């Protein structure tokens, strides 16, 4: 039996989105959690209780880069200021 992962509703408390990864070419897209839940509900599923890993199975189209249907999904947690190795007051436009 495949583990479907944590239900999507759980990630609301973390303000996380859903990260859709192509396992073939490594393309990644972050999709807002509420949009994912709405789309699953529109398909007649209980979107809030669908597991995070199970979302990949309901992805309709192929990867726009490589054309394969080799999707995986995981939570995309928001970053915290200062957690990317740069000082909090660093202006990224200075680079």
For residue 85, being part of any structural domain is answered with no
Question: How far are the Cα atoms of 26, 47, 72, 84, 92 from residue 35, in angstroms, in the given order?
Answer: 22, 10, 17, 27, 29
pLDDT confidence of 3, banded at 50, 70, 90?
confident
Residue 60 lies in a domain: yes
Q: How far apart are the first and last CA of the chain?
A: 49
- Considering the domain boundaries, does residue 54 fall inside one? yes
Q: What percent of the chain has pLDDT over 70?
A: 81
Task: Work out whether the CA dihedral 83, 86, 92, 95 comes out positive or negative.
Answer: negative
The Cα–Cα gap between 95 and 84 comes to 15
Task: Give the mean pLDDT of the chain.
Answer: 86
The pLDDT assigned to 94 comes to 47
State pTM to two decimals.
0.79
Residue span of the structural domain in which 38 resides? 8-76
Task: Single out the residue of 24, 14, 39, 2 nearest to residue 71, CA to CA.
Answer: 24
Look at residue 2 and tell me whether its pLDDT is greater than 70.
no
For residue 89, being part of any structural domain is answered with no
Residue 84 belongs to some domain of the structure: no
Number of domains in the chain: 1
Whether residue 66 is contained in a domain is answered as yes
């Amino acid at each position: 039996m495949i583990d479907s992962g944590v239900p999507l509703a759980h990630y609301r408390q973390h303000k996380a989105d859903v990260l859709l990864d192509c396992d073939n070419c490594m393309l990644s897209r972050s999709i807002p959690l509420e949009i994912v839940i709405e789309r699953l509900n529109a398909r007649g599923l209980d979107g809030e209780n669908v597991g995070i890993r199970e979302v990949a199975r309901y992805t309709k189209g192929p990867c726009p880069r490589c054309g394969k249907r080799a999707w995986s999904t995981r939570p995309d947690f928001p970053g915290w200021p200062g957690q990317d190795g740069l000082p909090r007051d660093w202006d990224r436009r200075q680079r």
